[in-house]
Amino acid sequence: MQGIRVCRICDNRSGNETYIAREQQLGLGDEFEYFKCSECGCLQISEIPTDLSKYYPPNYYSYRPCQPSFDFSRTGVGGYKLRLVVRLLTRHYYGRKNVVGKLLSEKSVVSGEFPLWVRRQQLDLKLGPASRILDVGCGRGQALVDLHALGFKNLTGADPFLESDFTYDNGIRIYKRNIDEMEGEFDFIMLNHSFEHMPDQLSTLAKLKQLVKSNCYLLIRIPVVDSYYWRQYGLNWAALDAPRHLYLHTRESLKLLATQAGFTVSELVFDSDGFTSWASEQYAAGISLVDPRSYNVNPASSIFKKEDIDGFTRLATQLNDKGDSDYAAFLLRA
């Protein structure tokens, strides 16, 4: 159906198509109106709810206890070699690209432990152990915990939905704060699937521009609507995630917003995995993520066989290579 809604990204108010999306992750079924801008393509919620706390329960995935994704506990010569390889790969991926790191990235199985976006990006991020890194919308700080395991020491997180501030024993500081309450200057700022949850997109980017050092990078990882998965699944697309995801950008709409805030899009990397396929298939079958039949809860009781899951993963890899998957990492230069 057609409706007139004013796009909060490009101010277009004509030809915008409306949709009724349901909350499906928790199985609540609450309905929300979204509209898709006919100009920039951004899919956005028509009215931002005044209270979203109901949709972020205490067991929401980003607020679960965190442990490093990497295990460096091995001792002896093997442990030393492992830590040396990790150190060299970290320097290559997060610091400056180099020949040794490139060879290890192609030969060592350890490289697969690093996030896909960082393995695929081609920039010199110029980050080292002392670099000041901020994760916005960090939950309990999983990404920061992993960075600390790689050797980074000056790590800060902010998330307004936390119960209170806290500090890890290793020195990672996590604050219960909105982005407009943060101060300081950072060498690198990350928003790992948090930007789409934020109501004031342009003012958020403007604040981030103040916080990141000149010529340094801001990472925004978000789902994008101009992708195979939206075309395939429509309102059952798992990354729509109503009403938590207030904005589902296109590449064009995010670039427009970044330019308005004074950033340049330096690189775009696609890093989807098999999740979108199996979760969307479940939604189409009326199965939420928390349903006992969910692959997320009990793989053995799910509607999928192992070959189905393997196929979903292969498809995501192919779509990443083609630039048509739904998870995108934008590296913006200040």
Give Cβ neighbours of residue 134 (< 8 Å, ≥ 6 apart): 156, 157, 158, 182, 184, 186, 188, 189, 190, 211
Treating both helix axes as pointing N-terminal to C-terminal, what angle do 306-322 and 275-284 enclose, rounded to 10 degrees? Answer: 120
Treating both helix axes as pointing N-terminal to C-terminal, what angle do 99-107 and 76-90 enclose, rounded to 10 degrees? Answer: 120
For residue 4, tell me if it sits in a domain.
no
Specify the pTM: 0.94
The partner residues of 21 in beta bridges, in order of sequence, read 32
Tokens of 187: 């060498």
Helix (H, G, I), strand (E, B) or coil at 67: coil
pLDDT of residue 1: 42
For residue 169, tell me if it sits in a domain.
yes
Nearest to 146 by CA among 136, 135, 162: 135
Give the residue numbers spanning the domain of 309. Answer: 17-333
Question: CA–CA separation, 211 vs 258, rounded Å?
Answer: 15
Residue whose tokens read 């809604």 = 5
The partner residues of 331 in beta bridges, in order of sequence, read 219, 267
Q: Is the torsion defined by CA of 177, 180, 183, 188 positive or negative?
A: positive
Question: CA–CA separation, 134 vs 189, rounded Å?
Answer: 5
pLDDT of residue 67: 85
For residue 105, tell me if it sits in a domain.
yes
Question: CA–CA separation, 291 vs 246, rounded Å?
Answer: 24
Q: Which amino acid is at 39?
A: E
Question: CA–CA separation, 241 vs 332, rounded Å?
Answer: 25
Give Cβ neighbours of residue 307 (< 8 Å, ≥ 6 apart): none
For residue 2, tell me if it sits in a domain.
no
For residue 33, tell me if it sits in a domain.
yes
Find out whether 5 and 13 touch, Cβ atoms under 8 Å.
yes
For residue 154, tell me if it sits in a domain.
yes
Dihedrals phi, psi of 30, to nearest 5 degrees: -60, 140
Peptide bond into 49 cis (omega under 30): no
Number of compact structural domains in the chain: 1
In eight-state DSSP terms, residue 326 is: S
| CATH code, domain carrying 324 | 3.40.50.150
Question: CA–CA separation, 114 vs 40, rounded Å?
Answer: 33
Question: CA–CA separation, 24 vs 258, rounded Å?
Answer: 30
Find out whether 265 and 272 touch, Cβ atoms under 8 Å.
no
Question: CA–CA separation, 127 vs 152, rounded Å?
Answer: 9
How would you write the pLDDT of the chain (334 residues) with one tens digit per residue? 445 689 999 999 999 999 999 999 999 999 999 999 999 999 999 999 998 888 988 778 777 778 888 877 776 767 888 989 999 999 999 999 999 999 999 999 899 999 999 999 999 999 999 999 999 999 999 999 999 999 999 999 999 988 899 999 999 999 999 999 999 999 999 999 999 999 999 999 999 999 999 999 999 999 999 999 999 999 999 999 999 999 999 999 999 999 999 999 999 999 999 999 999 999 999 999 999 999 999 999 999 999 999 999 999 999 999 999 999 999 999 9
For residue 312, tell me if it sits in a domain.
yes
For residue 1, tell me if it sits in a domain.
no
